[in-house]
């Protein structure tokens, strides 16, 4: 009798209800979501202690671990062992980097086995919308700080509205709109499109963040021309989509590594990317890549600074994971992205594939890929996706027309 059989025997003997499985998952997910969201707001100044959010994250991780141990189904012991090994590799990277987002996200992904992903999105939207409203209202009333800044040489003011930085507020808006569109399976009505366009322009005028403006507009364009875009990506095929995705990640890392400050071409790219190539290259010079991760001292613009400070921050999500969590964690992430892309395409979850494409593009520039209060798409790895399967072929009309013409 193996370990899994022993576990199932005692669960049946003790008559532990299956309802406990969902309770454990939702408890861990909601606690993790609220805690990580609050860490991105100026409410951080009101924590009882600096360690307070990390204790909450540990509780969320523990609850997710209990759910996995008691209720997850594995094909065999070898599969369970593989997940443990992956978890240990991710854990080592997090410990070395002193950044725990990846391991907590991994635990909640495993804990989401069989959970309706549409319900996950619904809960995500409810919590994030509520959190944003509380932060915006609190900052407007002076309960928490409303940080502002401006670009060098630009008199325009950018507002954070309770978040730690204006670009973080814009990124939250992008992910919020994206997952609302995913929840609607990219089938927005005209009033919804107009409302989302108004929301997009409002966020841009408040934060002056070009990346998220482009991404939010692309989300709406994909919704308006959904069937045409799906036909296009189907013509490319799942394998080539994965290859293009991996190549885009490797190209941005290569450009960062090869950056030359005196090169005109690199200067142009660096300016377009708001200095990200320069700071990413500095990371290679000062730290380089390790197998199991390392601590990278960074000073970002977010939050409050007392006096002058030496700015240094790695924005690109993929470069952050490579430099901070190490090569093995980076490879795990790339494999996960390829797995999801192939799964979405082969099992007709086309709206999720579009979301994945947009998230990869965003993550080439920003740092929120493995922050669950921004991006929940990785939970589609193990959750139930039946609600998102396209049951009717979007080629049906073309096939009928072709048959008639013959």
- Per-residue pLDDT, 312: 87
| Cα–Cα dist 97/194, whole Å | 43
- Tokens 């909640």 belong to which residue? 108
218/49 Cα distance (integer angstroms): 41
Q: Which residue has the higher pLDDT, 148 or 46?
A: 46
Q: Mean pLDDT score of the chain, rounded to an integer?
A: 91
How much is the pLDDT for 302?
A: 58
Lowest mean per-residue pLDDT among 15-29, 81-95, 185-199, 289-303? 289-303
- pLDDT tens, position by position, 38-63: 999 999 999 999 999 999 999 999 99
Mean pLDDT of 316-323: 96
| Integer Cα distance of 145 and 303 in angstroms | 9
What does the alpha-carbon distance between residue 293 and residue 94 come to, in Å, rounded to a whole number? 7
pLDDT, tens only, 254-270: 999 999 999 999 999 99
Please report, for the chain, the start and end positions of each structural domain, with discontinuous segments joined by +.
3-240+324-397
Residues 148-172, mean pLDDT to the nearest whole number: 86
For 271, the token pair is: 């300016």
The tens digit of pLDDT for each residue in 366-380 reads 999 999 999 999 999
Say if residues 32 and 372 touch (Cβ distance below 8 Å).
Answer: yes
Cα dist from 360 to 28, 323, 370, 375, whole Å: 26, 18, 11, 11
* Long-range CB pairs of 277-283, under 8 A, 24+ apart, other chains included: 279/311, 279/312, 279/313, 279/314, 279/315, 280/256, 280/314, 280/315, 280/316, 280/319, 281/256, 281/257, 282/312, 283/256, 283/314, 283/319, 283/323
Buried b (16+ CB within 10 A) or exposed e, 258-292: ebeeeeeebeebbeebbebbbbbbebbeeeebbee
pLDDT in tens, 98-117: 999 999 999 999 999 999 99
Rounded average pLDDT over 322-338: 97
**pLDDT bucket at 392, cuts 50 / 70 / 90:** low
Distance CA 108, CA 28 (A): 7
User: Looking at residue 75, what is its pLDDT?
Assistant: 87
**In the prediction, which pLDDT does 402 show?**
41
Percent pLDDT > 70 in the chain is 93
pLDDT band of residue 29 (cuts 50, 70, 90) is very high
E-strand stretches of 128-271: 148-149, 158-159
Q: Is 114 left (phi over 0), alpha (psi -120 to 50) or beta?
A: left
405 has pLDDT over 50: no
CB atoms within 10 A of CB 15: 6
Q: How confident is the model at residue 9 (pLDDT cuts 50, 70, 90)?
A: confident
pLDDT class for 301, splitting at 50, 70, 90?
A: low
Give which of 120, 112, 123 is closest to 21, Cα–Cα.
112
Residue 336, pLDDT above cutoff 70: yes
Residue 393 pLDDT: 54
Q: Is the pLDDT of residue 138 over 60?
A: yes
pLDDT in tens, 354-363: 999 999 999 9
């Amino acid at each position: 009798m193996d370990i899994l059989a022993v576990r199932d025997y005692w669960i049946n003997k003790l008559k532990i209800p299956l309802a406990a499985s969902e309770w454990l998952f939702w408890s861990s997910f909601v606690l993790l979501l609220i805690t990580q969201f609050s860490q991105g707001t100026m409410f951080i100044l009101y924590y009882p202690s600096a360690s307070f959010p990390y204790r909450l994250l540990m509780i969320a991780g523990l609850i997710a671990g209990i759910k996995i141990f008691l209720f997850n189904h594995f094909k065999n012991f070898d599969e369970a062992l593989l997940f443990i090994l992956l978890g240990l590799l991710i854990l080592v990277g997090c410990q070395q980097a002193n950044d725990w987002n990846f391991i907590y996200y991994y635990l909640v992904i495993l804990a989401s086995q069989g959970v309706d992903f549409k319900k996950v999105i619904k809960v995500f939207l409810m919590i994030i919308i509520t959190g944003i409203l509380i932060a915006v209202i609190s900052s407007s009333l002076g309960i928490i700080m409303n940080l502002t800044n401006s670009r060098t040489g630009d008199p325009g003011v950018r507002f954070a509205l309770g978040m730690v930085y204006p670009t973080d507020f814009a990124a939250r808006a992008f992910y919020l709109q994206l997952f609302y569109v995913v929840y609607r399976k990219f089938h927005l009505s005209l009033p919804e499109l107009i409302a989302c366009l108004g929301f997009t322009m409002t966020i841009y005028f408040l934060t002056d963040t070009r990346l998220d403006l482009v991404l939010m507009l692309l989300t709406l364009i994909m919704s308006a021309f959904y069937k045409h875009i799906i036909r296009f990506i189907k013509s490319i095929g799942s394998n080539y989509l994965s290859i293009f995705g991996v190549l885009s990640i490797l190209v941005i890392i290569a450009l960062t590594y090869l950056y030359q400050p005196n090169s005109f071409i690199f200067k142009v790219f660096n300016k377009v990317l708001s200095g990200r190539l320069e700071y990413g290259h500095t990371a290679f010079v000062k730290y380089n890549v390790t197998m199991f991760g390392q601590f990278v001292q960074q000073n970002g613009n977010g939050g409050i600074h007392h006096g002058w400070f030496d700015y240094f921050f790695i924005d690109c999500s993929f470069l952050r994971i490579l430099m901070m969590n190490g090569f093995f964690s980076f490879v795990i992430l790339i494999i996960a992205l390829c797995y999801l892309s192939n799964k979405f395409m082969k099992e007709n979850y086309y709206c999720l594939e579009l979301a994945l494409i947009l998230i990869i593009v965003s993550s080439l520039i920003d740092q929120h890929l493995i922050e669950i209060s921004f991006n929940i798409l990785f939970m589609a790895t193990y959750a139930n996706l039946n609600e998102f399967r396209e049951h009717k072929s979007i080629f049906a009309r073309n096939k009928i027309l072709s048959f008639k013409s013959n």
